[in-house]
């Protein structure tokens, strides 16, 4: 068996990504690359990623009680709903069968290739060990790992009184776009970007109180490339942007920009609220 498991096989990913690129007219693809790159830059440059709480987390300045409040809110905002949204996105690839961007004879194939890439993300989320498949287990899914972390932190995930409106607003924003393939792609690309940046900071602050807090969930998220870790967030984010490049519709450019702005604004409001918590 290859030392690279199927969820990390560059050959398989490149095959799917090459098909996606070739399924669209070359001139359109080039134009879409530029437009999607602008959306990605808009995301990266958002104030969300320069908020004071980021530095406070890196400096391990938040108390354990503050971190507990953050984690129950983070659970409601994204962790609990992420695989729901990703599963719906996989379903919504059926929209590619009628997509005007894609060569007509490749539209059904496009659905299969998109589902392959998105399923790599879902498989990671559901607890497949990306190096030793025999060690895979639903008990190692990222959702269950997060539940285990909440238990270690002595947090009741059902205590809705501890959840702020900003967390529910993020959850509801995703729920309101479950029927749109393009919107879900954009939302999950931004969510992956947020997870990559804030998971690292949260892990650093939690380690101050107990090294075991950085196991499980925080061994599955962060910026990882060609390592022995179980996270593939970089790959997943890149795959989502590639799929958006395939389905991008120029006439909706302003709608895409507005969606990115609104979703990341909600995240900024969430983290500003977390920064103001007194515990």
Which one-letter DSSP state was computed for residue 127? T
255-276 confidence digits (pLDDT tens): 999 999 999 999 999 999 999 9
DSSP assignment string, 98-127: G-TTB-GGGHHHHHHHHHHHHHHHHHHHTT
Token output for 194: 């947020």
Q: Are 13 and 120 in contact (CB under 8 A)?
A: yes
Composition of the chain by helix, strand, coil, percent to 5: 75, 0, 25
Q: Give the pLDDT band (50/70/90) at residue 224.
A: very low
Q: What distance in Å separates the CA atoms of residue 202 and residue 120, rounded to the nearest whole number?
A: 25
d(C-alpha 158, C-alpha 154), whole Å: 12
Q: Which of 14-18, 76-80, 92-96, 126-130 has the lowest mean pLDDT?
A: 126-130
Q: Cα separation of 110 and 97, whole Å?
A: 8
pLDDT of residue 87: 97
CATH assignment, 6-275:
1.20.910.10
Which residue in 232, 158, 160, 164 sits closest to 195, CA to CA?
Answer: 232
The CA-atom distances, in angstroms, between 249 and each of 99, 103, 241, 244 are 10, 15, 14, 9
- Per-residue pLDDT for 228 more than 50? no
- 24 pairs with which residues across the strands? 102
Percent of the chain with pLDDT over 90: 77
Averaged pLDDT of the chain: 90
Provide the residue ranges of all domains of the chain, joining segments of one domain with +: 6-275
């Amino acid at each position: 068996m290859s030392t690279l498991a199927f969820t990390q096989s560059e050959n398989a990913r490149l095959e799917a990504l090459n098909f996606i690129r070739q399924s669209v007219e070359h001139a359109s693809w080039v134009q879409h690359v530029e437009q999607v790159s602008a959306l990605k830059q808009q995301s990266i440059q958002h104030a969300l990623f320069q908020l004071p709480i980021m530095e406070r987390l890196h400096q391990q300045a938040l108390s354990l009680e503050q971190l507990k409040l953050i984690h129950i809110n983070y659970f409601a905002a994204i962790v609990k709903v992420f695989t729901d949204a990703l599963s719906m996105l996989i379903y919504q690839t059926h929209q590619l069968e009628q997509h005007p961007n894609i060569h007509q004879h490749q539209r059904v194939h496009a659905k299969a290739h998109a589902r392959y890439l998105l399923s790599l993300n879902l498989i990671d989320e559901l607890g497949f060990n990306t190096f030793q498949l025999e060690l895979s287990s639903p008990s190692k899914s990222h959702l269950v790992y997060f539940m285990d972390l909440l238990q270690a932190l002595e947090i009741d995930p059902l205590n809705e009184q501890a959840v702020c409106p900003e967390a529910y607003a993020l959850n509801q924003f995703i729920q309101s776009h479950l029927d749109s393939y393009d919107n879900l792609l954009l939302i999950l690309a931004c969510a992956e970007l947020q997870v990559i940046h804030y998971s690292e900071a949260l892990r650093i602050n939690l380690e101050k109180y107990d090294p075991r807090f950085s196991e499980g969930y925080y061994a599955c998220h962060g910026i990882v490339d060609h390592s022995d870790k179980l996270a593939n967030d970089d790959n997943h984010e890149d795959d989502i942007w590639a799929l958006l490049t395939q389905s991008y519709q120029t006439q909706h450019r302003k709608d895409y920009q507005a969606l990115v702005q609104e979703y990341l604004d909600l995240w900024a409001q969430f983290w500003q609220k977390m920064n103001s918590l007194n515990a």
